[in-house]
Amino acid sequence: MQLAGKKIILGVCGSIAAYKSALIVRGLVKAGAQVKVLMTESATAFISPLTLSTLSRRPVTTSVHDGESWDNHVELGLWADALLVAPLTATTLAKMAHGICDNPVVAVYLSARCPVFFAPAMDLDMWAHPATRRNVARLRSYGNHLIDVAEGELASGLHGAGRLAEPETILAELERFFARAPADDKMALPQVPGKVEEQGEDPTSVVRPLAVAPTRNDYAGRRLLITAGPTHEDLDPVRYLGNKSTGRMGIALAEAAAARGASVDLVLGPTELSTTDPGINLVPVRSAREMHAVCVALWPKADAAILSAAVADYRPASMAQQKIKKEDKPLRIDLVRNPDIAAELGEDKKPHQRLVGFALETENALENARGKLERKNLDLIVLNSPNDEGAAFGHTTNKIQLLDRDTVTAFELKPKRAVADDILDALAGRF
């Protein structure tokens, strides 16, 4: 178990999802981790500090003045191997993003010299608000790790994105991080003057490592073209042909690539989701032909393209200028083929470029994916299926297989951000 012996601080904020913090603590302790819990004042209205103290087997901090001195939050920040804030409310998210230090979670966050993970939980409209999106992007720009929200029924009765990720998902993210992070990550980082360890030592001679969340820069200097979302093919002024893609997988790929140092062009079809990541050049499009034109223009400048968009294969031969009226007889719509973006980029691919496609299959999956890989001159293809529970469209998770010309690698169901890193890991080895 990668969490055995790890020192984990759990920050709990005032959300209805705070009850899940008990399950997180129990899971961490069961995995062999040492756990210390911080709570905002509002969090204590949702779950008792005594409950979390009992589960963690340690006192719970509920105020910045807890402990023997103000240095307590500094000591906690130095003690931890990771800081996890779950659930993270919109209020504390904003405070962390802007350094407003008025609760123990933010106080320890600002003092932490360890990787920081944050798992938001809030209502649908709060999560979608531009202020929230900017705050998330700001936290991630500092090198912190987002554990994305899940979709489902919310406390308001609405259904959509905003639920706290399940405890199993959160623990899996921590396990995955520690499995990949070198043991000496913190010691390899730059050093700054720190606190004197013992009385009498020369303050100028004692340093502690300045630890931030370890990030990989394996895509530094690379330019990636990523497509995401559906396309809409207009039938008349009010109707279109489309599909169920939300663009979440492609946005996760773009954000993960930017976090790893890439310069990203994200060509995004019509969807309610977006990104404010400063490392991403967002190009919104609507139709397959618009997406095709943008991709053809950007491809010569790219080191790689990841084509995760669900592009319509066909469009109406002509768009009606007025709304099509309902009649008693059957309606016939003539369709024509849209340009094949993957095939065209594959045909123009230069020796230094890499091309990754996606295949969404419901039958003969491996055979169809292999055929697409060969026909379109792809280096990798990502195979997923709506037949797998929690995979493909409309989910915050995905279950994929990665194919090249020689191998097939299967992955378990994971959050789409974790899937994005799996894809980027595979692509990085092919440059």
Mean of per-residue pLDDT scores for the chain: 86
Could you report the per-residue pLDDT of 351-393, keeping only the tens digit for each?
Answer: 999 999 999 988 898 999 999 999 999 999 999 988 888 787 8
Q: How buried is residue 259: exposed, middle or buried, by Cβ count under 10 Å (0-12/13-18/19+)?
A: buried
Arithmetic mean of pLDDT, 206-220: 50
Residue scoring higher pLDDT (231 or 139): 231
- Closest C-alpha to 61, from 9, 119, 116, 24: 9
Residue scoring higher pLDDT (206 or 314): 314
Q: Provide the pLDDT for residue 72.
A: 67
Could you report the per-residue pLDDT of 28-48, keeping only the tens digit for each?
Answer: 999 999 999 999 999 999 999
Q: Provide the pLDDT for residue 185.
A: 42
Catalytic-residue membership of 243 = yes
pTM score = 0.58
Question: Scanning the structure block, which residue is given the tokens 């055979």?
Answer: 367
Please answer whether residues 341 and 227 qualify as being in contact, where contact means their C-beta atoms are separated by less than 8 angstroms: yes
Could you report the per-residue pLDDT of 180-189, keeping only the tens digit for each?
Answer: 654 444 433 3
Please answer whether residues 148 and 396 qualify as being in contact, where contact means their C-beta atoms are separated by less than 8 angstroms: yes
Which of 2-16, 74-88, 296-310, 349-363 is the least confident region? 74-88
Say whether pLDDT at 327 is over 60: yes
Where would I find the H helices in 143-211?
Answer: 167-180
Say whether pLDDT at 197 is over 70: no
For residue 299, what are its two tokens? 């491809």
Could you report the per-residue pLDDT of 269-296, keeping only the tens digit for each?
Answer: 999 888 878 789 999 999 999 999 999 9
Could you report the per-residue pLDDT of 54-63, keeping only the tens digit for each?
Answer: 999 999 998 8
Total Cβ atoms within 10 A of residue 200: 5
The pLDDT-based confidence of 142 (bands split at 50, 70, 90) is confident
Helix (H) or strand (E) holding 91: helix 90-98
The pLDDT-based confidence of 230 (bands split at 50, 70, 90) is very high
Q: Provide the pLDDT for residue 180.
A: 66
Which one of 103, 217, 243, 377 is the catalytic residue? 243
Total Cβ atoms within 10 A of residue 344: 15
Q: Provide the pLDDT for residue 242.
A: 92
Say whether pLDDT at 193 is over 60: no
Arithmetic mean of pLDDT, 145-157: 86
Residues at the binding site for CTP are 313, 323, 358, 372, 376
- Full set of structural domains in the chain with CATH: 7-180 (3.40.50.1950), 223-317+332-428 (3.40.50.10300)
Q: Provide the pLDDT for residue 277.
A: 81
Say whether pLDDT at 422 is over 50: yes
